[in-house]
Amino acid sequence: MLAAAVLTLGGAFRSGGAAAAPDRLPAGVVDELQRGFAAGDTEAEVAGLQGELRLRPRDVKALETLGLAYLQRVRETGDASYYPKADGVLHEALAVQPRDLIATAGLGQLALARHQFHRALALGLRARSISPTTAGVYGVIGDAEIELGHYPQAFAAFDRMTALKPSVASYARVSYARELIGDTAGAARAMALASSAAVGTREAYAWTRVQLGLLQLSIGHAAAAARNMRVALAAFPDYPYGLDGLAQSEAALGNLRRARTLETQAVARVPLPQYVSFLGDVDAALGRHAAAAKQYALIGVIEQLLAANGVRNDLDIALFDADHGHDPARTVVLARKGYAERPSIVGDDVLGWALARDGRCTEALPYSNRALRLGTKDALKFFHRGYVAACLGRGAEARTYYRRALAVNPHFSILWAPVAQKGASS
């Protein structure tokens, strides 16, 4: 009920304008806010909380809620300058109340975003010790376990999470876990539930639609995927994940020019290396080699920046480098670094692929096998496994994996689907 009031407050800010003195937000309402911010106008909520904290800087509820709202702002805008702010206010909440649940879990979420998975796990476990009945803490734990390659623990955490509270947060995690074990249909069912439970919260709803679209895309249902991406963009205009998802869908449908326009918009908002890399690939496929070269060069710059900022993003960069044949030996080093921090099947896959591209296929084989150990039905991983087999001179095995990749998704990659096609029929 008070959440309603909070939403109303958002409305009050909107109509009152920035100059109007906002009504003070009482602590009891703030309590409700932490669940409610996604539903309303996060920007107005942030403004309200900032005002509240200028009056009462040690209000734990306001601090932790503002921390979560800042994290939500990153999701909405891609503006990473909210990360240090979230970090700051959440730590201030902990300084006042060392065993604060929300601040601890919030810092866990922040650590995940920064790819500090060990730290995230520690925070998640600490949050669990504070409140074992709160569903959100199992989200932090499970997410960290997944990236660290501890799958049984991760799945147990997600199961516990939905048992405690079925919600968009827990459904979405079950969906991802199902996707990892190769149950794409089950993953889509769980994500549809997530989407339904996210109705009324714009960003979360858009996010579930994008994930649903990506699942469909992964099994070659590009038209359905495009529809979901459009629904996401209607709910949350200019959502970077939605722009990227729609671009990928359009590319899979053969509309490369449209894909290019959309991905350019996504890159303009959030230049993630995978977005830039995809844009380059689209440019290359369109025969715009100069433009593609520019995008590829930009990845080098992003890599430099990430390194300077201490961001651990080596797997993505390594994947890009391996795909584009940049300095194979160094790529292996990068992939190993990435693997060390994320010994998940993603790490296995990228390291195996980097080794294969460096011609070290005997070394690559165990990694590529491990990448498929959960039974994941991912066309790219099948393709990588086929590539390793081909490189080892096992023609029949290579053809099997290439066909498997194409059966899952005939348009799995602008770069590699044609290679798989050629290999499968040779």
Residues 298-357 that bind another protein (CB under 8 A): 298, 301-302, 304-313, 315-316, 342, 346
Q: Measured from the CB atom, is 71 or 361 closer to another protein?
A: 71
Touching another protein, residues 193-212 (CB under 8 A): 193, 196-204, 207, 211
Instruction: Tell me the three-class secondary structure of the chain, residue by residue.
Output: CHHHHHHHHHHHHHHHCCCCCCCCCCHHHHHHHHHHCCCCCHHHHHHHHHHHHHHCCCCHHHHHHHHHHHHHHHHHHCCCCHHHHHHHHHHHHHHHCCCCHHHHHHHHHHHHHCCCHHHHHHHHHHHHHHCCCCHHHHHHHHHHHHHCCCHHHHHHHHHHHHHHCCCHHHHHHHHHHHHHCCCHHHHHHHHHHHHHHCCCCHHHHHHHHHHHHHHHHHCCCHHHHHHHHHHHHHHCCCCHHHHHHHHHHHHHCCCHHHHHHHHHHHHHHCCCHHHHHHHHHHHHHCCCHHHHHHHHHHHHHHHHHHHHCCCCCHHHHHHHHHHCCCCHHHHHHHHHHHHHHCCCHHHHHHHHHHHHHCCCHHHHHHHHHHHCCCCCCCHHHHHHHHHHHHHCCCHHHHHHHHHHHHHHCCCCCCCCHHHHHHHHHC
Establish if 418 lies at the interface with another protein (CB under 8 A).
no
Q: Measured from the CB atom, is 167 or 368 closer to another protein?
A: 167
Establish if 413 lies at the interface with another protein (CB under 8 A).
no
Establish if 97 lies at the interface with another protein (CB under 8 A).
no
Q: Residue 416 Cβ, how far from another protein at the closest point, in Å? A: 18
Site string for another protein, 232-261 (x = CB under 8 A): --xx--x-----------------------
Per CB under 8 A, the segment of 245-253, 290-298, 363-371, 417-425 that binds another protein is: 290-298
Establish if 8 lies at the interface with another protein (CB under 8 A).
yes
- Binder to another protein among 176, 339, 382, 383 (CB under 8 A)? 176
Touching another protein, residues 105-124 (CB under 8 A): 105, 107, 109, 112-116, 118-119, 122-123
Q: Residue 96 Cβ, how far from another protein at the closest point, in Å? A: 11
Establish if 280 lies at the interface with another protein (CB under 8 A).
no
Q: Measured from the CB atom, is 112 or 424 closer to another protein?
A: 112
Establish if 426 lies at the interface with another protein (CB under 8 A).
no
Q: Residue 393 Cβ, how far from another protein at the closest point, in Å? A: 32
Touching another protein, residues 260-279 (CB under 8 A): 265, 268-272, 274
